[in-house]
Amino acid sequence: MIIKELPLDERPRERLMEQGAAALSPAELLAILIGSGNTEETAVQLMQRLMADCGGSLKTLSRLSLNDLTRHYKGLGPAKAVSIMAACELGRRRLMETETEKQYIKSSTDIYHIMYPRMRDLAHEESYALYLRADNSVEGQPFLISKGGIAGTQVDVRLIIREALIRQTPTLVLTHNHPSGSLRPSREDDQLTDRLQRACQLMNLKLLDHLIVTDGNYYSYKEQGKL
């Protein structure tokens, strides 16, 4: 049975128009995106199977690659898979949007709340710097320093310092995520923190904190007495 053969009150598009998007399940919303299923399953059934394989988690879905989607699900070609990936990315970017009013850093938790939406659900490591004015308000958007693999990423201290001089900010914060979920700093993390702190001292800048971000938690060098 194809979607057009379903009763009107069971068709995702019609239900959305009549009841609103909130009334639909994730599988039904995804079915609207892909439009059709395969010879054995409707779009809804195919997406129900996909979501079941993800344990019902949109976070898990967002981590699937193009290859994961197209190899294991009949009826999901590159075009449909890209639509799903685009929707997941839009959801992530929506969480990254912030209010236009100033954001102030008063604690490591404030840093975490700013950076977590940007780093959540990433399957690779990314490093960012936050730059703070004299009143500890955030200057501009977080500065992407590098992207890496699952295990790590290369960070150039010179880029971090250069951006602070361009923005004319006296204070900065280094952040990066651990896709593994581990909160333990690596030896490389410790070495990077030490190099950056020494570089900041030479340039009369202050390294306020280095935060390791995971899903739902963080590790703060400042809170641990390492800065």
Instruction: Render pLDDT for 188-226 as a digit per residue (tens, 0 to 9).
Output: 999 999 999 999 999 999 999 999 999 889 999 999 999
**One domain for residues 45 and 137:** no
Which of 70, 96, 122 terminates a domain? The answer is 96
Does residue 102 lie in a domain region? no
pLDDT of residue 8: 53
Mean pLDDT of 26-55: 92
**One domain for residues 117 and 214:** yes
**One domain for residues 126 and 52:** no
Identity of residue 166: I
**One domain for residues 132 and 86:** no
Domain count along the chain: 2
**One domain for residues 73 and 131:** no
Which of 40, 68, 96 terminates a domain? The answer is 96
Does residue 53 lie in a domain region? yes
**One domain for residues 53 and 114:** no
**One domain for residues 89 and 112:** no
Asked if residue 4 has pLDDT above 60, the reply is no
Does residue 227 lie in a domain region? no
pLDDT of residue 19: 85
pLDDT of residue 9: 54
**One domain for residues 48 and 125:** no
Asked if residue 7 has pLDDT above 60, the reply is no
Does residue 146 lie in a domain region? yes
pLDDT of residue 145: 92
Does residue 25 lie in a domain region? yes
- State the burial class of residue 43 (Cβ atoms within 10 Å of its Cβ: 0-12, 13-18, 19+): buried
Structure tokens at 227: 């800065």
**What's the mean per-residue pLDDT of the chain?**
89
pLDDT of residue 150: 53
Does residue 101 lie in a domain region? no
Does residue 225 lie in a domain region? no
Domain that holds residue 83: 3-96
Angstrom distance (rounded) from CA 36 to CA 95:
29
**One domain for residues 89 and 113:** no
The three-class DSSP label of residue 109 is: helix
Helices and strands: H and E segment counts in the chain: 9, 5
pLDDT of residue 113: 93
Angstrom distance (rounded) from CA 109 to CA 101:
18
97-151 pLDDT, tens per residue? 655 567 899 999 999 999 998 888 888 899 999 999 999 999 988 999 988 765 5
Confidence bin at 59 (pLDDT 50/70/90): confident
How large a percentage of the chain has pLDDT more than 70? 91
Which of 96, 119, 151 terminates a domain? The answer is 96
- State the burial class of residue 181 (Cβ atoms within 10 Å of its Cβ: 0-12, 13-18, 19+): exposed
Query: Does 4 or 180 have the greater pLDDT score?
Result: 180
pLDDT of residue 206: 97
With vertex at residue 192, the alpha carbon angle to CA 211 and CA 119, rounded to the nearest 5 degrees, is 35
pLDDT of residue 101: 65
Residue in 176, 175, 169 with CA at minimum distance from that of residue 132: 169
- pTM exceeds 0.75, yes or no: no
Phi, psi of 80, deg, nearest 5: -70, -40
Asked if residue 10 has pLDDT above 60, the reply is yes
**One domain for residues 32 and 122:** no
